[in-house]
Structure 1
């Protein structure tokens, strides 16, 4: 086995991989608690859901813009309330602290998964560093939504299921596993139980151990899961009646799986989107032994050894990733964020392939990998100055020179250390992402607020409402202006209804997309456009009567 000298800092970090990844995510997040406005679309909508939960007491059934919101269960919003209560965070810092803590939890869960699946501290640390240098993960760690918390519970369900199948004293592990599935389901939805159960079933089939499915402890665990879910369903029935439950089980679960009413994408969506989201680690394909991967003899050998106990942890990780990917591909609704739970096993497999494990040689060529990623960093450095030119809006992006400098130095550093092995390259990538994030968060992202946040229009509406105007909106993504407007908004897609309100009321403030305003025939008299703002990719008109 080849010998590779490890940097002194690596030995310190490896001694406690959990604290190491926590310290890095702390450094990535410490200056981002109140650094920009909330963005379109989910951040502002979830902020309104949380506000309505706190102010109106909607603790079991969430509300958005004053209307029952069946899309999301309550656990994430309870989590935000806990942060609001126990920490000094206030206002939008509650949401960003929630993102940072969710990312920390996901990292700890990923390291715990790696350790549970048989990885030593070396590979467990590298697993966390792979995530901390993935651009998509870093972005979600600084965007307010529940997916990282959701994914963390899924990971712990996998950890407990794996331990249960490896342990004679399996009962307590299965109880915990189904408990985590229940909490995951009440964080975002049924994928919280489908992901772990699918992994477990496929693993037992692969290993020829389906008789373990007859373990009575699994039935007890299922009872725990049903008790958690039924407690919420009964509470929701009492609070909001049967229409909400019908919406949950039919529209939000059945229709999304079979014939989604939104976010419907072609079958190959994740085949294109996932490699982009996994950058820069997607480039590991150039360092992989492709000749072996495409060898029939290799797969015959893998199949013949499938019942061996030597690589059960590795097999669980591969099955966790592949089964989850196939499941998502088969669903009608396809959203990129759904892939996050798959990042953990893939990060572990990437780290294991790069460093080796259990006395095995690394299967990834670190030199080829660092050259490929260096090229990616240098490409980002070259492309960054053109970002402002490519955005077709009148907006000034700040901090691009820092992006060029940091990405350029990171690329050159990887080229310099390309022959030094895996450890230095991982540390260079971790440091690069940490340094790159600071000007990005403090300068570049806040400068995108006029384009990405409905704050400007929402706060103007708030001023008009304070002066007595009646707030309305036509054909918008529900709830995107409510948080900053500070009030529920009468939303409708019926122009006749709007015309009637304008006729009956003297003071009205109305928001609608420019394309609908331009198509509006027989506009009522006395209306004036007082503001126009591009939000995300479309212009919105603020109209006053």
Structure 2
């Protein structure tokens, strides 16, 4: 089948079905307002006649926003790129890296660059089997851009990956038979989605993973439509292999499962055995086995065993964390796809379900194969994720481009009444957000009884969050614009208004609100304290803290004890009496046989748990005599911008043998301890959606490393932790 035939598949059906007649650009009262730039418009004469008829019948003319949409659809990738840049560029260097993936992956990247760990990744100096290396190669390529350096590099990587997702989504929309307007609408739907907007501002590999999977889908679809297409299938399988080396086996599972089901739907089982299919599969195996062989040759057989046994088999069948029931995604999807979930309430279901069996069978015809591939990929992807033991909302992200295309086909063909109701619901949602943000801004004015009823974590978090009035004002303004100043009967124009909202909303969020959450979301303050003490000769140590949490900002490796075993901690302190330790607050309070010299110097919430930094001193006589009894002892405080003071040292606390100096970062100061030390101010965690940080990790016992005489001991090997919960698991 020719390339032209691929591009001319009908895209007229609501919700992606093919029951509508070819040539309808928009259903309901919007049908007469089809733009002349679309492929379905018969011609300029017919367009003018349609507009004249619409005027005579009282149907409103296209709004200015709808005309702007049609203009942007001429070169769709340009406005999508500009909007993505506007949404992300302000946040590149505005905040610290957050717990857990951002700071941990930053340390992994430093090991790639500084230690040359290009094939076998390391975290805190030990093998890190949770992720393959390609994402970090991608970061290294961006690092070559002049002026780009960590930590800015990591958020730039998220933005560039988001742009790749937009371009891949548009390409897939066009490949499956949709016109430019539908491709543009699919990209705008992603840019106006709350969850996608958040992911573009959080440094993870999921966006790059999604972009490569989407391109693999495109190549697979092109290949399976033809009797022989070696170039397309080899490219599709190669991209599936690359996706697997970005994050894991789902990169292979999504496109291959869709391919098999699509070929079966066409009734061409033998097509799977053609030479081009075998060649593509072979290329995929060569890429994957090539990396496995290279890692094996470096002597990392245990690393590979961990990947296959723990990271793949156990995660799929009996995961140690984030295990959820099969219906988990049915419950979490509505929130992840807001505001577009509301479209389910306003779609013309009567027409869609008029003859579903016939419509489904129509997708087996050549003009319906694009629709068939999209639906097969979406439904099989949800089924695959639901069958896997581990479930995190961000795992849905590779399905977002496909879902955006289906949503765009539905949106652009909404009848006028349905469109009005949908955007009315969206305006109501924005109004609710405005009210909620206003309540956050008014929190200091609430009576004490109301404040006391709130959880302490949430209360402290709300006390430090900045910019709530501004964000609430933006929500209120756009709620009113959608309600009063936008022609809600024309979905194209109203879509532009919604994208404008997210673009404006994210500016104060990225520049003002997100940085204000650093004292809760980032371990930077405690890490820099640990790093400063390590430079003074203290042995850096963490006890039951999520591995790799502090290494990047501390600038040094920590000895990590990840299981609850006080004997291991005692042994480490016997070997290194002069130590700086990060631990949970509850462990600090329950520590049996706590050394007499142990003292807390800083306390901080990290997401949903309080952690303390503790120092212990050498009992050597010369150390004891280094500072007169009762002399003030230097301590380190949390940055003032956080609104949180470090836990001060009591007057009688023994002084360190060597004075502690503050690190170079302005965020950490080393003031002298006043005679009356203020108590630390606790800061509560931010409740996070599962896409960016997830719930606390489930049980996992890891062998802890015994105390070692080296100044920077090797931490225990990480075993299968992709959790995003603070602290070592119970």
TM bracket (short chain) = over 0.9
Question: Any idea what SS the aligned residue of 2:355 has?
Answer: helix
2:308 counterpart of 1:249: yes
Question: How far did residue 372 of structure 1 move?
Answer: 1.0
Corresponding residue for 1:381?
Answer: 434
8 Å Cα contact 2:227/2:271 also seen in 1? no
Pairing 1:87-486 to 2, within 5 Å after superposition: 87-292=146-351, 295=353, 298-356=355-413, 365-387=418-440, 389=443, 391-393=458-460, 395-416=463-484, 417-486=486-555
Q: Separation in 2 of the partners of 1:496 and 1:393?
A: 35
Corresponding residue for 2:84?
Answer: 25
State TM-score, norm by structure 2: 0.72
Q: Separation in 1 of the partners of 2:258 and 2:430?
A: 35
Pairing 1:46-57 to 2, within 5 Å after superposition: 46-57=105-116
Q: Deviations over 1:435-471 (max 9, x none)?
A: 0000000111100000100001001111101111101
2:101 counterpart of 1:34: no
Q: Separation in 1 of the partners of 2:416 and 2:121?
A: 48
State TM-score, norm by structure 1: 0.96
* Alpha carbons of structure 1 residues 210 and 414: separation in structure 2 relative to 1, 3 Å: farther
Q: Separation in 2 of the partners of 1:426 and 1:205?
A: 37
More displaced stretch, 431-440 vs 209-218: 209-218
Q: Separation in 1 of the partners of 2:204 and 2:480?
A: 35
Q: Separation in 1 of the partners of 2:306 and 2:147?
A: 37
* Alpha carbons of structure 1 residues 352 and 383: separation in structure 2 relative to 1, 3 Å: same
8 Å Cα contact 2:102/2:203 also seen in 1? yes
More displaced stretch, 497-506 vs 134-143: 497-506
Question: Any idea what SS the aligned residue of 2:204 has?
Answer: coil
Q: Separation in 1 of the partners of 2:162 and 2:299?
A: 33
User: RMSD of the TM alignment (CA)?
Assistant: 1.6
Q: Separation in 1 of the partners of 2:359 and 2:121?
A: 48
2:32 counterpart of 1:3: yes
Q: Deviations over 1:513-544 (max 9, x none)?
A: 11222222221221001111000010001110
8 Å Cα contact 1:287/1:364 also seen in 2? no
More displaced stretch, 386-395 vs 372-381: 386-395
Question: How far did residue 291 of structure 1 move?
Answer: 3.7
Q: Which runs of 5+ in 2 are unaligned?
A: 1-26, 34-61, 444-453, 617-730
Question: Any idea what SS the aligned residue of 1:516 has?
Answer: helix
Q: Deviations over 1:257-293 (max 9, x none)?
A: 0000111112221111111100010000111123455
8 Å Cα contact 1:147/1:337 also seen in 2? yes
Q: Separation in 2 of the partners of 1:202 and 1:525?
A: 67
8 Å Cα contact 1:367/1:419 also seen in 2? yes
Question: How far did residue 207 of structure 1 move?
Answer: 2.8
Q: Which runs of 5+ in 1 are unaligned?
A: none
Q: Separation in 2 of the partners of 1:304 and 1:329?
A: 26
Corresponding residue for 2:611?
Answer: 540
Larger radius of gyration: 2
Question: How far did residue 364 of structure 1 move?
Answer: 9.1
Runs of 4+ in structure 1 displaced over 4 angstroms?
361-364
Question: How far did residue 24 of structure 1 move?
Answer: 0.5
Corresponding residue for 1:526?
Answer: 597
Q: Separation in 2 of the partners of 1:97 and 1:120?
A: 31
Q: Deviations over 1:173-203 (max 9, x none)?
A: 0010011011101000010110001111122
Question: How far did residue 224 of structure 1 move?
Answer: 0.8
Question: How far did residue 362 of structure 1 move?
Answer: 5.8
Q: Separation in 1 of the partners of 2:265 and 2:589?
A: 59
Q: Separation in 2 of the partners of 1:531 and 1:154?
A: 44
Question: How far did residue 109 of structure 1 move?
Answer: 0.5
Q: Deviations over 1:217-272 (max 9, x none)?
A: 11101111111111110111111331111111111101100000111112221111
